């Protein structure tokens, strides 16, 4: 055996001892064993209309996931302080209605304003856990009067720093009665381990150009947040995965009559309208080939885990890469305005 071959064999043996390679040492035909990304998928009920209690539940869920070694966790759409389920039930479109005003005022009072430090405890918990997070909140935006509400998906990195606040571009149907249209400022991706992660709110995931904006930035883990219910997640999640050749994570809440506070306006009517299981979950993860990594679960609070493999993405990108070799920017291109929108620009 010559010196070069002996050195190669010794190097292979050392890497094998460290668990960094697998296969045979014949020649140099070995593959690096890349680090997997462990994700936590909480399907839990909100503490409805109660920001502080809801944030405490988020923190306790992060702490539970940290014990299992999770590196990324995602929470449902508008988890803090909850989705506005009352709109359909109570005639939310009644103009200038005193009851609707009371409900909106309560909702607004429990919404999240990051600039006021509302998420500081969550950030500390994530930093302690070395975990990143996508958190769905109703944002009471300080830069838009401090009173209008936005359905926002917030990314916080492993150091506990808020990196993006994506305001839902187009609230869906009755949501427009309480949420304002967002902007493109949060259409960004983030590096996490061997992956590039991005996220969208609910029916934004049906918007081809919003998805394309994330694909163009190299997204290979797509996080979709939903208020709850299998009918939202079971069909679309595999489509998102297969279209993007990415991992697709759909995270939902559950909502029951028992989750409605007794002391809120129109509580009895809302409880009756929501019923035993108004939102039944359906959280799931699809592989980059569209197969299930975690199949949808319904009807109960759960905290499940999965490991994502960067090599799986690369294998699926061999024959289709939506913003790489299978795109035609010379024919079709997307322009994305990521400026945060505001009423006025002041020059002092």
Catalytic position from the list 77, 175, 204, 219: 77
Active-site residue, 202 included: yes
- Classify residue 219 as exposed, middle or buried by CB count within 10 Å of its CB (0-12, 13-18, 19+): buried
Q: Is 89 left (phi over 0), alpha (psi -120 to 50) or beta?
A: alpha
Token match 């680090």: residue?
35
Token match 């997070």: residue?
133
CB 179 within 8 A of CB 139: no
How far apart (Å, rounded) are the C-alpha atoms in residues 23 and 38? 24
Catalytic position from the list 168, 242, 271, 297: 168
3-state secondary structure 4-64: HHHHHHHHHHHHHHCCCEECCCCCCCCEECCCCEEEEEEECCCCCCCHHHHHHHHHHHHHH
Active-site residue, 57 included: no
CA nearest neighbour of 308 among 180, 181, 194, 179: 194
Active-site residue, 115 included: no
CA nearest neighbour of 104 among 65, 62, 64, 140: 140
For residue 291, the SS3 value is coil
Catalytic position from the list 202, 219, 271, 284: 202
CA nearest neighbour of 131 among 160, 165, 163: 160
Cα distances from 220 to residues 214, 288, 341, in angstroms, run 9, 8, 28
DSSP letter for 260, please: S
Where in the sequence numbering do the catalytic residues fall?
A: 77, 168, 202
């Amino acid at each position: 055996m010559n010196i070069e071959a002996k050195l190669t064999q010794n190097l292979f043996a050392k890497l094998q001892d460290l668990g960094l390679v697998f296969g045979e040492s014949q020649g140099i035909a070995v593959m690096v064993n890349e680090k997997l990304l462990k994700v936590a998928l909480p399907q839990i009920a909100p503490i409805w209309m109660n920001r502080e209690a809801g944030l405490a539940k988020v923190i306790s869920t992060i702490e539970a996931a940290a014990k299992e070694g999770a590196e990324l966790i995602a929470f449902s759409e508008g988890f803090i302080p909850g989705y506005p389920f009352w709109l359909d039930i109570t005639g939310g479109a009644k103009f200038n209605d005193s009851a609707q005003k009371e409900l909106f005022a309560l909702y607004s009072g429990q919404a999240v304003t990051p600039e006021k430090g509302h998420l500081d405890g969550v950030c500390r918990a994530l930093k302690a856990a070395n975990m990143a997070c996508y958190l769905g909140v109703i944002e009471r935006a300080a830069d838009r009067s401090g009173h209008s509400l936005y359905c926002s998906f917030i990314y916080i990195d492993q150091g506990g720093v808020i990196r993006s606040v994506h305001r839902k571009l187009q609230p869906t149907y009755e949501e427009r009665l309480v949420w304002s249209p967002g902007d493109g400022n949060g259409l960004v991706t983030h590096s996490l381990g061997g992956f590039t992660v991005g996220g969208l709110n609910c029916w934004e995931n049906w918007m081809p150009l919003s998805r394309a904006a994330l694909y163009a930035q190299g997204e290979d883990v797509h996080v979709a947040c939903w208020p709850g219910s299998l009918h939202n997640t079971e069909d679309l999640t595999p489509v998102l995965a297969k279209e993007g050749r990415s991992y697709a994570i759909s995270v939902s809440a559950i909502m029951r009559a028992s989750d409605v506070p007794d002391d809120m306006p129109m509580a009895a009517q809302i409880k009756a309208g929501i019923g035993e299981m108004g939102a039944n979950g359906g959280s799931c993860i699809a592989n980059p080939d569209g197969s299930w990594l975690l199949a949808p679960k319904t009807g109960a609070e759960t905290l499940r885990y999965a490991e994502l493999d960067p090599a799986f993405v690369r294998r699926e990108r061999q024959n289709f890469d939506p913003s790489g070799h299978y795109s035609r920017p010379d024919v079709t291109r997307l322009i994305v305005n990521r400026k945060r929108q505001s009423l006025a620009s002041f020059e002092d």
